[in-house]
Chain A
Amino acid sequence: QVQLQQWGAGLLKPSETLSLTCAVYGGSFTDYYWSWIRQPPGKGLEWIGQISHRESINYNPSLKNRVTISVDTSKYQFSLKLTAVTAADTAVYYCARGLPYDFWGQGILVTVSS
């Protein structure tokens, strides 16, 4: 069974860098894109970006200048970095396998507060 397990800091100050990692257990790592999606508290879903094992990357233009997604194929992991965070970046961050998004990580609430 495929499982995605994610980790990273849950409390940041404004202007700091958000850093999350997602590990993939089971299934193929090379046959899929690997994505990050976020959800502000009480709101809808926002696609952040995705990467393939060959590092083909697409980002949401709304975040493009601040976001970096990377992959470590040897560890079956991929990561998200978001720089210069503000309160508007407070959200539950999910990693997911796709497309379509058939397996998701458990989600991590990242709170940005001074």
Chain B
Amino acid sequence: EIVMTQSPATLSVSPGERATLSCRASQSVSTNFAWFQQKPGQAPRLLVYGVSTRATGIPARFSGSGSGTEFTLTISSLQSEDFAVYYCQQYNNWPLTFGGGTKVEIK
């Protein structure tokens, strides 16, 4: 099983600042990698898939990068609606696995 490790567990950021979230895979997942955003009481929302392709309707301030085992989600200028928990996921190998999440909170 591929283990996905996200860091940091909590990120405190002021509105308007840049946020950088990391995810590491225990082995290569090629480009079969996605990021999700989840707000309390809601289902996760797909942000980025294929490492760097934004999902439909996702603002350009969200960008994904990386390759192989190291991936990054950057939020260029945090808006109030961006404070949430973010999960990474690999869909290259069975079983599909998610990271433990990074909570982005208001500083």
- Measured CB to CB, the residues of A under 8 A from B are 44-47, 50, 58-62, 94, 96, 98-102, 104-107
Residues of A within 8 A of B95 (CB): 47, 58-62
Closest residue of chain A to B101 (Cβ to Cβ) is A44
Contact in complex: A101, B100 (CB < 8 Å): no
Q: In the complex the two chains form, is A107's CB within 8 Å of B43's CB?
A: yes
* Per-residue contact bits, chain B 84-101, to A (CB 8 Å; 1 contact, 0 not): 000101010011111111
Q: Jot down 20 A-B pairs with beta carbons below 8 A, ordered by A.
A: A44-B87, A44-B98, A44-B99, A45-B36, A47-B96, A47-B97, A61-B1, A61-B95, A94-B43, A96-B43, A99-B96, A100-B34, A100-B46, A101-B89, A102-B46, A102-B49, A102-B55, A104-B43, A104-B44, A107-B43
Please count how many residues in chain B sit with their CB below 8 Å of the partner chain's CB atoms: 23
The number of residue pairs between A and B whose CB atoms lie closer than 8 Å in the complex comes to 53
Q: Which residues of A contact B32 (CB under 8 A)?
A: 99
Chain A residues with CB under 8 Å of B87's CB are: 44-45
Q: Are A100 and B98 in contact (CB under 8 A)?
A: no
CA distance A44 to B89 in the complex (A): 11
Query: How close is B9's CB to chain A, nearest CB, in angstroms?
Result: 11
**Is B34 a contact partner of A101 (Cβ separation < 8 A)?**
yes
With a 10 A CB-CB cut-off, give which of A62, A100, A101 has the most chain B CB atoms: A100
B36 neighbours in A (Cβ, 8 Å): 45, 101
